[in-house]
Amino acid sequence: MLIDLHSHLLPNIDDGSKSLRASIRMAKEAVDSGIKAALMTPHHMNGHYVNHKDDVIRLTSEFQKHLDNNDIGLQVFPSQEVRINGGLLQALDDDDILFADESNRYLLLEFPDDDVPTYSKDMIFQIMQRGITVEIAHPERNTKIMSTPSILFDLIEAGAVAQVTASSYVGTFGKKVEKFAEEIIKHNLAHVFVSDAHDLPNRDYEMVEAMAKLEKQMGRDYQELFETNTEAILDGDNVTSLVPEPIVKRKFFSKF
């Protein structure tokens, strides 16, 4: 059974699905690709979308009823993809943040596409001081991390975990992103695959393809590690982390 820890299926609340019909279709596609459970992770506090905790819980419950009424065997859970921002600690204090698990351990955190704010390391330290593990969204597509991979290494070494979008790993976002995703994985800087599914071209479910490639490149044990880590995050348990290794920039970029 595949579990998806990052998806944008809830209709009409962010840049994911634009209608209930589209959401139902995407849910069917998820099930057809082997996914049986998925976190609903609408964008929150990213400068464009604000999706408060109570609203996401309500909308996820309503969406589950639509899935059940349409005999779609997908179990959905409420969560958020939270943009790092100056109001995040206050939002945590206000209990307006959803986690990947019911024990409030794993927080899905997003950086801007082209930057990692200078205050990020300090804020993530403050978050983790609260017993929260930061789960970094799609680092392989962040241009700042691509140019300075040590940013990701430092965060993982400090105890954060990272998810790689399956489509990135199989080349949907282009060769450069694919190669960087491979480097992240080879250096033990990623822990799970996710779909990050949107109702957009080239934003489909490619979890099975990514898992097959991972087994081919890294071996069956590594592939099973990603599977068990996904379950661990959903259950609020410890992930299994291999020793992270720094990516040497000149070695990586010499491939292009």
**Annotated domain spans of the chain:** 2-253
- 8 A C-beta contact, residue 107 and residue 136: no
Q: For 181-197, give one letter per residue: b (16+ CB within 10 A) or e.
A: bbbbbebbbbbbbbbbb
- pLDDT given at position 202: 61
Q: What is the pLDDT of residue 211?
A: 97
Domain 2-253 sits in CATH at 3.20.20.140
Cα distance between the two ends of the chain: 36
Chunked into runs of 10 residues, the chain (256 residues) has average pLDDT values of 95 94 95 96 96 98 98 99 98 98 98 96 97 98 98 97 98 97 99 91 82 98 98 98 90 48
The span from the CA of 97 to the CA of 110, in Å, is: 13
**In contact, 160 and 133? CB cutoff 8 Å:** yes
State both tokens at 191: 């822990």
Q: What is the pLDDT of residue 256?
A: 44
Cα angle 232-137-32, degrees, rounded to a multiple of 5: 65
Q: How much is the pLDDT for 249?
A: 74
d(CA 192, CA 4): 9
- Residue 102 neighbours by CB distance under 10 Å: 11
Cα radius of gyration rounded to whole Å, the chain: 17
* DSSP β-bridge partners for residue 109: 82, 136
